Structure 1
Amino acid sequence: SLFNQALTTWRHTISFEVLVASEDASTMVQGKLALVTGGGGGIGRVTCQTLSTAGARIVVADINQDAAEETVNSLTGSDHMSIVLDVTSSESVEDVFKAIISKYNSPPTIIVNCAGILLFHKFLEETPEIFQSQLDINTKGTYYITKIACREMVAVGLQGSIVNIASIAAEGMDMLCSYSLSKGAVKAFSRAVGKEMAQYGIRCNSISPGPIETTLLKPVSQDYGTALIANIPMKRFGKPQEVANLIKFLASEESSYINGTCVGIDGGL
């Protein structure tokens, strides 16, 4: 019947489109310029490696020059650069963007804000310094990078994708009051930026990792770590590579209609 012929044609068309999409998926960031803050280690380093393997050019920015250079030396391909960045300083952020544009004649169109700090303390024992350091690095740093990246992309008419790192603590966690505040702000900020910058073709999303196997978890006691794992349905911590895979997806055109949202990656916690 005509209906069956149409259905067969539709199925073949869908199958072809899915095949094409899967073939193109690995090249969705090919040739793009990505800035990754906190790229000297942890999730930031693995994200740099993952994006470079997919063909992106990487600017590894970190407060630690040696760590940034180590990351660059581990990357696939060439045309990458390392640079010292203090995300708490708007002047440092401006200088980094000037250096990037000078080298590549373009601002980065993939931005990943991985620079962060996590300090475990009872709320009544937190000092002003503990509060301020987490707010400066986690929140102000994300704001400065995102703001200047958007400004530079809009100035030359480029579209792009920004991925910010929030946390499951954005919903509030004990022993992490200041950290929760700093990450809750990142989550709300990312949604607001996504709404406002969509008119320029710039997407902004955040991700909320649960406990991930990085140096940020080193201060956690064995008992606390055991208790954390017991509450995770998958009964393990996440791996940096798993987070980097999500970041790559959100940075690429595979996620072209995802904007202003926060994606959890927490093993079901």
Structure 2
Amino acid sequence: MNRVSVITGGAGGMGVATATVVGRDHTVVLCDVRGDRLEGAAQTLGGLGISATVVNADVTDRAAVDRLFDTATGLGDLVSVIHTAGVSPSMGDAEYVMRTNALGTVNVNEAFFATAGGGAAIVNVASMAAHMLPDEMIPKDKFPQALSDPDAFMTDMLAACAVVPEELQSGISYALSKSFVRWYSTAQAERFNTRGLRIVSVSPGSIDTEMGRLEENAGAGAMVADAAVPRWGRPEEMAELLAFCASEKAGYLTGTDILNDGGVIASMTERARKASA
């Protein structure tokens, strides 16, 4: 039977790059909210000999996500999900960023939990931003509400964003939402293992994609220049890591986050230490 891998955000640079790797030995399902871009992504993959099934769906819509998984399981055994779908601060306000990145992650992961068979894995894309906020700005005690009371979760997250001026709130929302993704991928590991499932998150740095470049003038460019590896990451580099984490080769890997940022956080931490010494 076909081994099926779902890639959300499948029309984006990271999604297409990942499909190029995973599609070598899996049936690929690409999901994206941008229907027009999906067809282009499928054509790109087709030119590489990879046939992809496309599903136009918004990850913030749980019913649409459930239909996505119905499509995937109808094609064979669902063995992996690589959840790259998300938005950056330049793409919307704090509410939009939080709902897409945090609640979208809950929708995709909970559908995976309900659907996938033993041995399957889900890899969530967080961000190096999840490693930047001080702990006192991250209301982790409110994070579990995302599973039980999404409205209360949103209220509390937006209140946490409101500690900064309005023009900065989408940036704080992004960091908080990706902190949530990192938390969820750790906190749910034991529960997922009750069904023989693995869950991992990967935190990219500044990646040379359309979405990544949107943040170039909002601070990402300076961080790249000051990183241990002073360049933008390539989508292909992220794709290989995401595909590995989802594969059987990483069968002992679960409940953790992998920071793949070219040394940005390491460099910032060391500079801060030296400055305070």
- Tell me the SS of whatever aligns to 2:242: helix
Query: Which residue in 2 is equivalent to 1:113?
Result: 83
- Tell me the SS of whatever aligns to 2:93: helix
- Tell me the SS of whatever aligns to 1:144: helix
Following the alignment from structure 1 to structure 2, what is the Cα–Cα distance between the partners of residues 89 and 216? 22
Shift of 1:225: 4.8
- Tell me the SS of whatever aligns to 1:148: helix
Query: Which residue in 2 is equivalent to 1:40?
Result: 11
- Rg: which structure is higher? 1
Following the alignment from structure 1 to structure 2, what is the Cα–Cα distance between the partners of residues 105 and 243? 26
Query: Which residue in 1 is equivalent to 2:40?
Result: 70
Query: Which residue in 2 is equivalent to 1:158?
Result: 118
Q: How many residues align?
A: 227
Q: What pairs with 1:173-184 in structure 2 (closer than 5 Å)? A: 176-184=171-179
Shift of 1:95: 1.8
Q: What is the TM-score with the length of structure 1 in the denominator?
A: 0.78
Following the alignment from structure 2 to structure 1, what is the Cα–Cα distance between the partners of residues 10 and 172? 26
Following the alignment from structure 1 to structure 2, what is the Cα–Cα distance between the partners of residues 79 and 212? 26
List per-residue Cα deviations over 1:228-269 (Å, max 9, x = no partner). 223211111111110001001101111111111100101111
Contact 1:172 1:181 in 2 (8 A): no
Aligned residues: CA RMSD: 2.2
Query: Which residue in 2 is equivalent to 1:239?
Result: 234
> Structure 1 residues 120 and 61 mapped into 2: Cα distance closer, same or farther (>3 Å)?
closer
Following the alignment from structure 2 to structure 1, what is the Cα–Cα distance between the partners of residues 20 and 260? 19
Q: What is the TM-score with the length of structure 2 in the denominator?
A: 0.76
Q: What pairs with 1:104-253 in structure 2 (closer than 5 Å)? A: 104-106=75-77, 108-120=78-90, 130-153=93-116, 157-172=117-132, 176-220=171-215, 222=217, 224-253=219-248
Following the alignment from structure 1 to structure 2, what is the Cα–Cα distance between the partners of residues 197 and 161? 9
Query: Which residue in 1 is equivalent to 2:67?
Result: 95
Identity %: 29
Following the alignment from structure 2 to structure 1, what is the Cα–Cα distance between the partners of residues 90 and 36? 27
List per-residue Cα deviations over 1:64-83 (Å, max 9, x = no partner). 12222222222244553001
Contact 1:49 1:74 in 2 (8 A): no
Runs of 4+ in 1 over 6 A off after TM superposition: none
Following the alignment from structure 1 to structure 2, what is the Cα–Cα distance between the partners of residues 260 and 234? 27
Contact 1:48 1:71 in 2 (8 A): no
Structure with larger RCO (C-alpha < 8 A, sep 6+): 2
Following the alignment from structure 1 to structure 2, what is the Cα–Cα distance between the partners of residues 227 and 202? 39
